[in-house]
Structure 1
């Protein structure tokens, strides 16, 4: 059962009630003694008394509300047990299996290739091999400033986005269309273990560089279709490996999303152990992949060619270990005021009375005032904060646990040092960490329109925040360190390259920390019932998700995927996912129990669609384009009626579903529509208007390169910089820096 209820009483509302029927006419005046509205805790108590299970309440911050908010809560509960499967059936493992390319050599590379040369000599060998095949080679080396020696050799600063823009600008001026890119800057002689102070620097030559390159290519149109081959070393942890570089691993999440958002950019990642192969041998491996691999987005070489696969969890593959929650143990939960964070706080407290250290960005009143604030709400306290106070006090009252709350950004090392100093004075050594902190979902955008500020905002809690925690707790006897990752790191998702990259970092961090003998688990979560956005493949009740987490923590493993997936839907989506699915995942459960088919977003077969009911316009008239788009939405979302002004993401859409919409729009309506357009024009009406306007504008004649004499090179470069600012590709400050360098 789901209730969306007003839970905060206001004088104006009481007056309205009194002028109409009057709340005193209700028969349950014993529970509505002074106000017609029940508080969230009162609702929870009532539902428990009525034998509802898994009762929870969460504050809702509704769109369009002011800072004073209206005090609305989502209250959920279930009658009886809803689990159709044991917890193990919600669990999956990630493994690497030998695999040959799907076909014999398809074609040898040709055209213009851009090589970001490494310091190991791999790029030198590649240049020679490609030139012998007749390719034109442009090399890019790392340096401290932009240098253009001649038409085929560049030096750029890896961390300056404007340098990538200048590079693409020059190639565009020369009229050179790029056939492919080989990015080797993440190939180094050893695995780099980042620390909190150097994390951003280590990301520059890898994650940031590939991001800047992709945006520049998209904004300057220097390609028709192109391959992007990113080569890393020590970015994945395989059997026999001694170390892994989580900073490099973040690139793998990005690579999975690039080609989902822009199918004309075919992006692949290849991870090698540069300590086991010479530069010439690595070059030969890359050349073989260029010719033969057109399907496997992520490949690793360790004596043989391996690909990543998602399979059902097999407990026999992992040694058992004891998982326990210590009585009076001290446990840190970051992001603990969020829905998932609060759920794990309840779980730990139900296990044993513990000391919970909750760290979140919200600033709450001093704990000594919490009860007073609830009894006599003070002006200026947000209703959602009132609900958080009630939830925290309820935890203490019902479980005997102690709550120690601290407001702070987990990525702010100075603030975290202050918090940890207070924690040690109050409680002592820490016994476990659950790192749930994450940036708001609204920060993520498609690469082409994402700003670097927002991109880094998504990375901060998951990358810098994780490293800060690891550093500050290095000497504590932690029983476990759990990081909340996501399936996005495995199968990507349109509009979430930053999110996929951040979670790929967490997956590798867990493996890296385990290699140091410190018990760590990355959990790649999928949708939770009532707590997260609904998943297009199903969602799991919180109690079942936590039961699966307990099994994961009782196994010695680096990561576990936990989610309820409809195998029929998985099979349909498999071609769009960036990870291979094992046969047992597609068939169903490992125990032979037939799963309950997922209810949300069932979709409609294309052949059964003739027309969709459209609303949202007073005259009832809708364009042909609007009708075409509505048919696609119906096929993906499963609805038969749409308001043309509804946003796709407000009515059940997510990063996987938008990928299917993009594919269908490209095939049936307009082949030039990109992922960013679906975000920018998120309603049927706006997308139809965008496509219609685009069709109405006559195609401009191809621009002449500036060296043809029509404009000065500086003028053309300035024009392109302005275009990048307009597209939000770079900031005004970055553009000004680029202008100064022209």
Structure 2
């Protein structure tokens, strides 16, 4: 047994050169990895280096320095994050995607290459030992279940007998993923396995079928106090889910999100949940820009319920329903033409009414007192 910094090319070369000829190197299994999570917009050079060095640099050095050794196996431990993506793990996902690509490159060169994109192991390691209940709950909601070590070792043995460059040994809970359909949380690679409901347009007289549509309609018919209450319940419910709390009552409205226990990863997850529930495109820094539930509710209300006369809110909600149905309608050329004609007619009426109102306003501004009194008399008669 010997220790070496595999990411240091000279150290690795010296170690390989020290292997006795009577006991040659026959296989490589690279398992190193280091986490340094953060949202992509805030990643630093140090965080990138922390995640990439033990995987990218080390694996590439092993690839180059063992190329002529006639190895029977070259196995690298990748991660599900490189295939599905991981909240707040852009650097780690990139490092593992490199390992997957390296396995393909080696096989194209006639060399052995296998990348195993592991899911979560039940047995804690240096990388997963700091995961709390909230982290495990987040993974479970995403459909990833911890894998017993015995099962992982069995899958390793099986994977080494298969003629594949990349394999994903992971425990997936399909039901958990299906429950998140409305959040578009199912990775593209799994959408042929997990059937999702077909989105269909609904008549104006029908009840809204989409949760986002339902929310905008409900808010449009509420008073300001009722809207704040509904949005407060929405934010507190999702926040409690992300943090693993028993219920929304555990989320104090005026208490800061960081004080409640949110970090960069859980903040992004809450942003995603609220974005799916409201239909808004929310910034990754949402919880830092609006640091408490109360402040966040004010922001959501301003985005969902524009500062316009209350009488127009139901009409705006109906337009939201049309916008939601557009992708399906635009796929049909006949429906697209009919819709376009109808929308142009409505727009012409709106523009015509605006032009008439403008003309009336200009006329009133220049009217004499006698003309004004005559107009009032005419309106009274009407």
Structure 2 unmatched runs, 5+: 197-214, 216-228, 301-382
**Secondary structure of 1:433's aligned partner:** strand
Write the deviation string for residues 397-438 of structure 1: whole angstroms up to 9, x where unpaired: xxxxxxx14142x2221222233334x159842122111111
Between structures 1 and 2, the one with greater helix share? 2
Kept in 2: contact 1:447–1:676 (CA 8 A): no
Structure 2 CA distance for aligned equivalents of residues 584 and 668 of structure 1: 24
TM-score (norm 1): 0.30
TM-score (norm 2): 0.55
1:631: which partner in 2? 237
Matched residue pairs, number? 247
Closer, same or farther in 2 for the Cα pair 1:518/1:418, shift >3 Å?
Answer: same
Write the deviation string for residues 544-591 of structure 1: whole angstroms up to 9, x where unpaired: 11111211111111111111111111223463244232655669xxxx
Kept in 1: contact 2:88–2:268 (CA 8 A): no
1:467: which partner in 2? 60
Shift of residue 661 of structure 1?
Answer: 2.1
The correspondence for 2:16, drawn from 406, 413, 420, is 420
Closer, same or farther in 2 for the Cα pair 1:690/1:427, shift >3 Å?
Answer: farther
Write the deviation string for residues 3-56 of structure 1: whole angstroms up to 9, x where unpaired: xxxxxxxxxxxxxxxxxxxxxxxxxxxxxxxxxxxxxxxxxxxxxxxxxxxxxx
Structure 2 CA distance for aligned equivalents of residues 510 and 419 of structure 1: 23
Write the deviation string for residues 159-216 of structure 1: whole angstroms up to 9, x where unpaired: xxxxxxxxxxxxxxxxxxxxxxxxxxxxxxxxxxxxxxxxxxxxxxxxxxxxxxxxxx
Write the deviation string for residues 83-113 of structure 1: whole angstroms up to 9, x where unpaired: xxxxxxxxxxxxxxxxxxxxxxxxxxxxxxx
Kept in 1: contact 2:119–2:146 (CA 8 A): yes
2:94: which partner in 1? 501
What does 1:141-540 correspond to in 2, within 5 Å?
A: 404-408=1-5, 410-422=6-18, 424-425=19-20, 428-439=23-34, 441=35, 443-531=36-124, 532=128, 533=131, 534=136, 535-536=139-140, 537=143, 538-540=145-147
**Secondary structure of 1:495's aligned partner:** coil
Is residue 543 from structure 1 mapped to residue 141 from structure 2 by the alignment? no
Structure 2 CA distance for aligned equivalents of residues 573 and 519 of structure 1: 38
Shift of residue 633 of structure 1?
Answer: 2.4
**Secondary structure of 1:524's aligned partner:** strand
Kept in 2: contact 1:494–1:658 (CA 8 A): no
2:345: which partner in 1? none
Structure 2 CA distance for aligned equivalents of residues 581 and 628 of structure 1: 29
**Secondary structure of 1:464's aligned partner:** helix
**Secondary structure of 1:463's aligned partner:** helix
Structure 2 CA distance for aligned equivalents of residues 506 and 578 of structure 1: 20
- State the Cα RMSD in Å: 3.8
Closer, same or farther in 2 for the Cα pair 1:688/1:637, shift >3 Å?
Answer: closer
Kept in 2: contact 1:483–1:522 (CA 8 A): yes
**Secondary structure of 1:434's aligned partner:** strand
**Secondary structure of 1:483's aligned partner:** strand
Structure 1 CA distance for aligned equivalents of residues 194 and 159 of structure 2: 18
Structure 1 CA distance for aligned equivalents of residues 164 and 281 of structure 2: 44
Shift of residue 668 of structure 1?
Answer: 5.9
Structure 1 unmatched runs, 5+: 1-403, 588-606, 608-622, 696-742
Structure 1 CA distance for aligned equivalents of residues 22 and 195 of structure 2: 48
1:563: which partner in 2? 170
Structure 1 CA distance for aligned equivalents of residues 33 and 48 of structure 2: 13
**Secondary structure of 1:505's aligned partner:** helix
What does 1:54-203 correspond to in 2, within 5 Å?
A: none
Closer, same or farther in 2 for the Cα pair 1:459/1:584, shift >3 Å?
Answer: same
Point out the structure with max Rg over C-alpha: 2
Kept in 1: contact 2:4–2:11 (CA 8 A): no
**Secondary structure of 1:438's aligned partner:** coil
Closer, same or farther in 2 for the Cα pair 1:583/1:511, shift >3 Å?
Answer: same
Higher relative contact order (CA 8 A, sep 6+): 1
**Secondary structure of 2:172's aligned partner:** coil
